[in-house]
């Protein structure tokens, strides 16, 4: 059957209206998105496969900028089984939070030992491997800006096991050592005209190299005991990963909140995506006009610009690790956070 031919006017008017309609359509998708992901369901799936995606646009999530998965590393093995030298590297930012077990990671040649409650912020495009040194399985979550990099057409994942998909690493030892996809370079300023415009252009060429130097100075490992919790409008909060405390992060940040039994956080809404991992206690969250009850190890996907507030309904302190893409949105000039009711704690 021949498709009905549509006029140029029809096709292009529709494209124009797609942009006009988008924000309102997106509001509807945010209202309908799945917020609560229960640990028992994830746990069941982890019995069948060691790596389970939880919040992920490819599984129907409305989160456009980051994702979260759970995974298990069996005792005395290395993640991926066959990672023995390089591991893998990627052009997405990554956070790993360890829930159970002990081991170490090799990141850009340096060793980091970790246990429950510790967190890694893996610098962009650094080779990394994770090894379980103990007799117990390692249980952890990871969150990355994979969806954002994919949407930008800039997601490169180079894995030791799959060299046939390498884009840069096969080009030799130098290409393998750099934290810059494709390698860095600088203009020899003595050889070019010393004009203002020449300076501006030389800065552009040197940007990646400068960025690599900053990435190599970035903090990587956060120990639970080093977190600084202080009172804020949202309650007792610690910044965990943030450029203002020594991380070379441009997209993914982490904060942790503690709410005493019977108390509540503040209410707020913001333009960035947020995924919460409940690491202690139980409670409920109000998101817009709905309520969700959660327990330890459950995951919450907070929709963009929906009011949300947390309540500790249990007897233990409620502890929440909130992984967000505030930095990505700030760098796009799109950051906006509204504070509502203040915390009671
Ligand atoms: Fe990774
Ligand atoms: Fe939030």
For tokens 């429950």, name the residue: 116
Ligand closest to the CA atom of residue 91 = 1
Distance 94 CA to ligand 1 centre (A): 7
Q: Tell which CATH architecture fits domain 39-151.
A: Sandwich (2.60)
Token code pair at residue 118? 């510790």
- Beta strands, E only, 101-245: 103-107, 110-114, 119-122, 128-132, 138-144, 157-159, 221-222, 230-232, 235-241
pLDDT tens sequence across 152-177: 999 999 999 999 999 999 999 999 99
Question: What's the number of CA atoms in the CB half-sphere (13 Å) around residue 97?
Answer: 26
pLDDT tens sequence across 267-314: 999 999 999 999 999 999 999 999 999 999 999 999 999 999 999 999
Q: Sort 9 into a burial class: Cβ within 10 Å, 0-12 / 13-18 / 19+.
A: exposed
Distance 289 CA to ligand 1 centre (A): 37
Other Cβ atoms within 10 Å of 337 Cβ, number: 13
CA distance 66 to 142: 10
pLDDT tens sequence across 226-259: 999 999 999 999 999 999 999 999 999 999 999 9
pLDDT for residue 17? 97
Q: Let me know: does 130 contact 61? Beta carbons within 8 Å.
A: no
For tokens 């552009």, name the residue: 204
Distance 270 CA to ligand 2 centre (A): 7
Which residues of the chain does CATH 2.60.120.10 include? 39-151, 223-339
Helices (H), the chain: 8-32, 39-46, 146-151, 173-177, 196-217, 326-331
Cross-strand pairs, 268? 308, 339
Angle at 153 between CA 151 and CA 159, to 5 degrees: 105
Q: Let me know: does 239 contact 318? Beta carbons within 8 Å.
A: no
Q: Sort 165 into a burial class: Cβ within 10 Å, 0-12 / 13-18 / 19+.
A: exposed
Q: Sort 226 into a burial class: Cβ within 10 Å, 0-12 / 13-18 / 19+.
A: exposed
Ligand closest to the CA atom of residue 121 = 1
From the options 2.40.30.10, 3.40.190.10, 2.60.120.10, 3.90.870.10, give the CATH code of 223-339. Answer: 2.60.120.10
Q: Let me know: does 283 contact 310? Beta carbons within 8 Å.
A: yes
Return the closest-CA partner of residue 143 out of 42, 45, 238, 67: 67
Distance 12 CA to ligand 2 centre (A): 38
Distance 53 CA to ligand 2 centre (A): 22
pLDDT for residue 190? 80
Distance 90 CA to ligand 1 centre (A): 7
Please indicate whether residue 335 or residue 340 has the higher confidence score (pLDDT): 340
User: Is pLDDT of 327 > 70?
Assistant: yes
pLDDT tens sequence across 95-142: 999 999 999 999 999 999 999 999 999 999 999 999 999 999 999 999
Distance of CA 38 to the CA centre of its chain: 20
Distance 234 CA to ligand 2 centre (A): 9
Ligand closest to the CA atom of residue 86 = 1
Q: What Å distances lie between residue 327 and 32, 181, 250, 301, 323, CA to CA?
A: 25, 21, 6, 17, 11
| CB burial string 180-189: b at 16+ within 10 A, e below | bbebbeeeee
């Amino acid at each position: 059957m021949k498709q009905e031919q549509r006029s140029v006017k029809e096709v292009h008017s529709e494209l124009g209206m797609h942009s006009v309609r988008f924000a309102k359509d997106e509001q509807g998708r945010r209202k309908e998105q799945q917020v609560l992901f229960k640990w028992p369901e994830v746990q069941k799936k982890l019995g069948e496969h060691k790596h389970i995606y939880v919040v992920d646009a490819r599984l129907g999530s409305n989160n456009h900028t980051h994702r979260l998965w759970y995974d298990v590393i069996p005792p005395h093995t290395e993640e991926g089984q066959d990672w023995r030298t390089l591991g893998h590297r990627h052009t997405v930012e990554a956070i790993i939070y360890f829930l159970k077990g002990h081991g170490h990671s090799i990141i850009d040649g340096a060793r980091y030992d970790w246990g429950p409650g510790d967190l890694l912020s893996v610098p962009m495009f650094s080779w990394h491997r994770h090894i379980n040194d103990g007799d117990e399985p390692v249980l952890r979550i990871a969150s990355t800006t994979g969806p954002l990099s994919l949407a930008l057409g800039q997601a490169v994942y180079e894995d030791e096991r799959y060299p046939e998909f390498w884009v840069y690493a096969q080009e030799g030892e130098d290409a393998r050592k750099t934290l810059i996809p494709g390698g860095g370079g600088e203009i020899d300023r003595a050889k070019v005209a010393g004009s203002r415009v020449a300076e501006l252009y030389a800065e552009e060429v040197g940007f990646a190299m400068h960025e690599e130097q900053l990435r190599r100075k970035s903090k990587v490992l956060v120990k639970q005991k080093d977190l600084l919790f202080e009172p804020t409008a949202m309650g007792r909060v610690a910044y965990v990963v943030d450029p203002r405390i020594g991380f070379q992060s441009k997209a993914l940040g982490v904060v942790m909140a503690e709410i005493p039994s019977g108390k509540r956080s503040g209410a707020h809404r913001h333009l960035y995506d947020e995924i919460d991992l409940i690491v202690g206690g139980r409670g409920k969250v109000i998101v817009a006009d709905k309520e969700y009850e959660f327990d330890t190890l459950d995951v919450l996907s907070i929709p963009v610009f929906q009011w949300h507030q947390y309540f500790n309904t249990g007897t233990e302190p409620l502890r929440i690790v909130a992984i967000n893409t505030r930095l990505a949105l700030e760098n796009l000039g799109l950051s906006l956070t509204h504070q509502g009711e203040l915390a009671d704690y």
